[in-house]
Amino acid sequence: MATFLYRLGRFSFRKRHFVALFWVALLALAGAGAAGAPAAGNSSFSIPGTEAQKAFDLLDERFPGASADGATARVVFKAPDGQKMTDPGNKAAVQDTVDELSGGAEVAQVTDPYQGGGVSQDGTVAYASVTYKVPGIELEETSREALKAAAEDARDSGLTVEIGGDALQAIPETGSAEIIGIGVAAVVLVITLGSLLAAGLPLLTAIVGVGIGVATITALASTLDLGSTTSILASMIGLAVGIDYALFVVSRYRAELAEGREREEAAGRAVGTAGSAVVFAGLTVVIALVGLSVVNIPMLTKMGIAAAGTVAVAVLIALTLIPAVLGYAGRRVRPAGEKSKLLGGGRAKDKADRPNAGTRWASFVVRRPLAVLLLGIIGLGAAAVPAGSLELGLPDDGSQPTSTTQRRAYDLLSDGFGPGSNGPLVVVVDAQGSEDPQAVFRQAGDEIKALDNVVNVAPAAPNKAGDTATIAVIPDAKPSSVATEDLVHDIRAVGADIKDGTGAEVLVTGATAMNIDVSQKLNDALVPYLVLVVGLAFLLLIVVFRSILVPLKAALGFLLSVLAALGAVVAVYQWGWLSGLMGVEETGPIMSMMPIFMVGVVFGLAMDYEVFLVTRIREAHVHGEKPAQAVVTGFRYSARVVTAAAIIMIAVFSGFIGSSDSMVKMIGFGLAIAVLFDAFVVRMAIVPAVLALLGDKAWWLPKWLDRALPNVDVEGESLAAHDGAAGKEDEDKELVRA
């Protein structure tokens, strides 16, 4: 592989006009497709095979035209101080709003608060429910504008009016913090590479890669039903790995220049060595992201594949566009150790022979490996303690910022009707084939009413055929609470008893029940997913490092860092520690997809640092250095770059903490803290300590397995004998044949 990538690097350097034109054309094509595509909506959490989804499907079959999966809105009214919603003037204003909303082309039904029990007991709050014919992702902008206009007209009459539900769900915004993250990345690149131009290359190529990935996702969003958060998560991961991969190639290029090689030769060797590590690091990320499909949640599968595609683009750009732009930069990219005049280049070096920080740190670790290992494990273990109280759920309007109308509507409903009114449960009773369906409906209602944590049970509403009915149940607790989850399980237990006695089937659905089923599905899939992803990556790393213990150590270190990161997420978003600093306005259960998503993404990123760091150590060991000295040598050449890459990734992920979307905010924080733990505690401390303790045993591999494994030559041993003066025409022909 190293030889092929070496030729690819030289080809891209020499044919830079062609390579640059190809990527620019690809960016323009993706941009044109995105410009002409409809905007992305909000993908649903539907899960094939769950009870909630089965009930939705039954509603579509037995209640045609009811739009069970249609968008919903709750227009909440609050009377001025000293007045009631039953006062004639306020009642007339609400009625006007109901009439105005009923005329919408996509509106299926609007419930009158005064006829549907939508007025609070104290008479100060009322709500009208609006059901649309199409899901939120397909709702026309004119329908959203009509909803806002109706609310504004009601406000003109003196009422407080807010809108909840998914009809107004906005595409999340990441805010200015994302720009700050990129700014931090730029500063780190300048310090690391010692040149404004060299620092700009990774940023430029990463932005090109993210632009292609996000534009492609935007172009296909409507066709493939990609949620609005898909492109944000793809850009988050793509930008971070794009900068990192480019940084590793540029850094190796400067190191090759420092050894006296010509620029084209240096570009080829940089791609042949660092590029090999980029390929395998990228493969681990792609495996982790594509592996999310085993969960069998369509939304999560699409998010993972979209992000994996962006990572694949970042790898290809690092292998081709980076050497091309290095060709354009020419002598303005200086050898390692040299800085531009603007950054202090040309000054006399007083301490030229002083070991760098990576060398000093590695020397310290190999002298005290056991102490460093124990300190790292104890520290991560302490950070992981809060993960023991992890509670999972999915965000609702209660997790929105208080500045949004959805959150204000949520609070008004909670004050007027209790927190459970924000997450009503829909019980579907299928009595087809039963001798007395009406008796079954009454029995189901009575038994549900007798359960704990139930505030209200509406009378059964049968379909025209009279064989199926819906029963609305209002829980006592908020939708994301453990009590509401327990109530769903209790209703399903009641349904099982009714089925045994009457043969009728009782199903629980609605947004709250769907969220609970999603959480359960994710919990059940976590262990199989972990085994699949870690297993595949473990096999891949055996090929890369030709060792059993090094990949095993890498996997165990990852588990430590991800548990510590989950502990930090629980402490901030569930317990409320530093919640003000992180912009957390409402603590509660951790998003149910957070553990599995963090496992997938963080594992891929953790293996990035493992590959980049340990391949340098193995390279030194392969060339004859003793284990302890090989660790020091590896850190001398790679610690600075890995540290810079980690800081960049943390900065990029932290930028998404400023998002208006609670899910993106939590993922940004979780990934940032996970990279912090993994890069600086696991890879920079625990890894060298373990390698120092293992010595030569770290690189042990059974002889039969050594013979069976392919030699991928990540360290670039084959390049040592390569003749840099090979003919250009021969190289081009060999590249085409390869």
The pLDDT of 127-147, averaged and rounded, is 82
Whether 711 has a pLDDT exceeding 60, the answer reads yes
Average pLDDT value over all residues in the chain: 82
Give the model confidence (pLDDT) of 291-326 as tens digits.
888 877 777 788 888 888 889 999 999 999 999 999
pLDDT at 491 (0 to 100): 94
What pLDDT, in 10s, does the model give residues 190-212?
877 767 777 788 888 888 988 89
Q: Does 726 have pLDDT greater than 70?
A: no
Number of H helices, E strands in the chain: 23, 11
Contact 241, 646 (CB under 8 A): no
pLDDT in tens, 274-285: 888 888 888 888
The arithmetic mean of pLDDT across residues 259-275, rounded, is: 87
Provide long-range contacts, Cβ within 8 A and 24+ apart, for 60-66.
62/430, 62/463, 62/465, 62/467, 62/468, 63/463, 63/468, 63/470, 65/108, 66/108, 66/131
| DSSP secondary structure letter of residue 398 | G
- Kindly report the CA angle at 345 between 339 and 350, in degrees rounded to 5? 105
What DSSP string runs through 512-547? HHHHHHHHHHHHHHHHHHHHHHHHHHHHHHHHHH--
Q: Is 105 exposed, middle or buried (0-12, 13-18, 19+ CB in 10 A)?
A: exposed
Among the ranges given (126-130, 327-331, 585-589, 631-635), the one the predictor scored with the smallest mean pLDDT: 585-589
Residue range 563-567: mean pLDDT, rounded = 92
How large is the average pLDDT for residues 203-224? 81
Helix locations, 385-436, DSSP H: 405-417
> What's the residue count for the chain?
738
* pLDDT tens sequence across 156-170: 999 999 998 877 765
Distance CA 322, CA 242 (A): 11
**Chain segment 345-402, per-residue pLDDT in tens:** 544 444 445 788 888 999 999 999 999 999 999 999 999 999 988 887 776 777 777 7
Strands 392-393, 590-591: pairing is parallel
Token look-up 């548990």 returns: 563
The answer to whether 253 touches 330, Cβ cutoff 8 Å, is: no
Average pLDDT over residues 440-456: 91
**pLDDT band, very low/low/confident/very high, at 152 (cuts 50, 70, 90):** very high
Average pLDDT over residues 538-565: 86
Helices assigned H by DSSP within 546-626: 549-569, 594-622
Q: Which residues contact 483 (CB under 8 A, 6 or more apart)?
A: 453, 475, 476, 477
Average pLDDT over residues 672-685: 91
Residues of the chain with pLDDT > 70, as a percent, come to: 88
Beta bridge partners of 505: 430
Closest by Cα among 277, 270, 203 to 240:
203
Q: What's residue 300's pLDDT?
A: 77
- 77 sits in which H/E element: strand 72-78
Closest by CA position to 303, among listed 239, 242, 211, 226: 226
Does residue 141 contact residue 88 with C-beta atoms inside 8 Å? no
C-beta separation of 604 from 287 below 8 A? yes
Report whether pLDDT(124) > 80.
yes
Lowest mean pLDDT, pick from 352-356, 416-420, 578-582: 352-356
Q: How far is CA 239 from the centre of its chain?
A: 13
Report the alpha-carbon distance of residue 462 to residue 440 in Å, rounded.
11
Is residue 14 a contact partner of residue 327, using CB atoms and an 8 Å limit? yes
pLDDT of residue 26: 92
Q: Which residue has the tokens 């090109």?
A: 208
pLDDT at 606: 77
Structure tokens at 143: 């329908």
Enter the DSSP assignment of 680.
Answer: I
Neighbours of 108 (CB within 10 A): 16
**Amino acid 349: pLDDT:** 47
Cβ partners under 8 Å of residue 302, min gap 6: 43, 224, 225, 226, 227, 230
pLDDT for the residue 348: 44
Give per-residue pLDDT as tens, 402-412: 778 888 999 99
- Residue 666, sorted as left (phi over 0), alpha (psi -120 to 50) or beta, turns out to be alpha
Neighbours of 13 (CB within 10 A): 26
The reported pLDDT for the residue numbered 38 is 64
